[in-house]
Chain A
């Protein structure tokens, strides 16, 4: 696949204020085709806000945001969102839908015929490592890890080029999280989606990200590759390294 010349997502001086509070200040960020950009920061640093601005769950107070070179306010919001996969913590699955209906929802509302949806759902189940028997289950009959796999499958259903992930593995136990992180990295190697991934976990960021955007109090501090992050002298980056201990070299993506 040839890389597109323009960035897939571009923030131009984007600010977001809510009830007089500056949540995000003058964000400038280019996210390139096929990379996994991790937004790393503490709670309240503006990383989830940044993510939600991309699929217009939030609208910037100033500045503009380009998706595929077009300001995202110019495209139809429903079509924009259907072209962007969205995975959140605890997956946000529909509790009254089976796994099959959850995964097949976007294809269905996009008007795919049943056979095509059926095939796609089975293909995705295999891709995220779930047995086909799970298809008839409801979300509350699944483990946390299984739910999150369904969440990823659902986001990938209509084959979007962009994937937004908001702490998708945050609520999982350490072992499951580890498995899913590794699977995600190998999945991404074959899919080449443009991924924006929010986390507060440095270890996860280093493992998954091709680049790490470090955020603090609504500002972008810097964008690093995982290796650069480890060598960074910036006090914010250093604080993370200190908090998470050492021995990260082997983790880098």
Chain B
């Protein structure tokens, strides 16, 4: 339990890095939702583009994370600040599950229900906000959940480019060949991922459409 001792000794730094980690994950998830949900909705309504959009998101997903951080480093503006770069990279990774689940969720709404709504005189935006999105909500949320869990893990890599987060301990521990320092980064990161997964799973269950 050396790492516990180490963590207690470095309490304030553990807390700081955890908050930094949460900030990276939270901000990138927010951006990914703001971009991914509207994209998912639009490809659900215009299937013409679904292959292009889902395909691109898929390709991004296949780029090794360390390489993506490296690719973005020389890009003007993005590469200027490590935190900015990390948030952008994490946002790109979080897009796929969010776009895909939004698309699947909206497509999964019973077409008879949508047609009934349209026939009753709901406008397209009323249909979207009162019928399609509420009915697709739990599917979309489970996409966000997957994205968050992936991001918590990936955000540890951000330390490689100096963006902070719990990865700092991991990389430092690797350099020092010191298990307890690695664990001081890895264990809190794992706990964060589990906590995010469980709490979002709970929300998902609560909001399940009937």
Contact = CB atoms under 8 A, between A and B. Distances in A.
Contacts of B210: 95-96, 138, 140
B120 A57 contact: no
A112 interface: no
B112 interface: yes
Contacts of A78: 121-123
Interface string A76-109: 0011111110101111111110000000011001
B126 A109 contact: yes
A88 B115 contact: yes
Contacts of A47: none
A55 interface: yes
Interface class of chain A by DSSP: mixed
B184 to A, nearest CB: 45
Interface string A163-205: 0100000000000000000000000000000000000000000
A105 B120 contact: yes
- Interface centre among A84, A88, A95, A164, by most chain B C-beta atoms within 10 angstroms, is A95
A32 to B, nearest CB: 22
- Interface centre among A78, A79, A106, A140, by most chain B C-beta atoms within 10 angstroms, is A78
B119 A96 contact: no
A86 B120 CA distance: 6
Contacts of B126: 109
Contacts of B116: 86, 88, 91-93
B134 interface: yes
Nearest to B114: A92
A109 B127 CA distance: 11
Contacts, number: 62
B131 A94 contact: yes
B134 A96 contact: yes
B188 interface: no
B209 interface: yes
Interface string B24-66: 0000000000000000000000000000000000000000000
B147 interface: no
A96 B135 CA distance: 7
Nearest to A101: B130
Nearest to A154: B120
A82 B209 contact: no
A201 B91 CA distance: 56
Contact of B122 (A89, A109, A138, A164): A109
A86 B119 CA distance: 6
Contacts of A80: 121
Contacts of B113: 92-95
B121 A95 contact: no
Contacts of A138: 210
B117 interface: yes
Contacts of B120: 81-82, 86, 105-106, 154-155
B81 interface: no
B118 A57 contact: yes
Interface of A: 52, 55, 57, 78-84, 86, 88-96, 105-106, 109, 138, 140, 154-155, 164
Closest 10 pairs between A and B when the two form their complex, measured CB to CB? A92-B116, A81-B121, A82-B121, A86-B119, A138-B210, A96-B209, A92-B112, A96-B134, A78-B121, A92-B113
5 contacts: A78-B122, A94-B117, A95-B135, A96-B210, A109-B121
Given A83-B121, A92-B116, A95-B209, 11 more contacts: A82-B120, A84-B119, A88-B115, A88-B116, A93-B113, A94-B131, A96-B135, A105-B120, A105-B130, A109-B122, A154-B120
